[in-house]
A and B are shown apart, each in its own frame.
Chain A
């Protein structure tokens, strides 16, 4: 099984900040890595797939990078709508999610 370790678990930030979330896979997953955004009481929404491809309609302030086992999600300038929980997910071998990162207002 592939384990995904995501950090930090909580990230206090302010509007306008640049933030980075990291996700590490226990084995190489090539480029089969996705990021989801979840708001309270809502379903996860796909933001990025294949490490760095933005889903249609996702603002360009979101970006992804990495390869193999180490990946990052960056939000270049936080907007009020971005305060949510973010999950990484590998889909190289079935599906495993990271533990999530909650973006909090500082």
Chain B
């Protein structure tokens, strides 16, 4: 079955960096598109970034553009989110999500989430 598992979260100081990873199994990783989504404590869901199967198209939300970078390694079945210049407001649970292009880029499966805390 489809599984997405995030890792790499933790506590980081403001201005610091962190790289999240997401491994995907149970489906053809190299054909899939992905997104990162986050949820601040007690808040709703915010889409952050999107990447196509080859990485030819990458899109970001304005809130993270220029600070976060989405990338992937299809050989390792890994999706990444490099987060730089972190701020307190980036504190959230971060989810990777699989995007199904044949269904108009529907986000159909999500990982369990990984917590990122930005605090001094």
Contact residues of A with B, CB < 8 Å? 32, 34, 42-46, 49-50, 55, 87, 89, 91-92, 94-100
Contacts and interface: CB of A to CB of B under 8 A. Distances in A.
Contacts of B46: 97
Give chain A's interface secondary structure class: loop
Nearest to B47: A95
A100 B50 CA distance: 22
Shortest beta-carbon contacts, A-B, top 8:
A95-B47, A43-B110, A97-B45, A100-B44, A99-B44, A49-B106, A46-B108, A43-B112
A94 to B, nearest CB: 6
A91 B98 CA distance: 13
A50 B100 CA distance: 13
Contacts, number: 51
A55 B44 contact: no
Contacts of A94: 47, 50, 59, 61
12 contacts: A32-B104, A43-B110, A46-B108, A46-B109, A49-B108, A50-B103, A89-B45, A89-B107, A91-B107, A92-B104, A96-B47, A100-B45
Contact of A95 (B107, B108, B112): B107
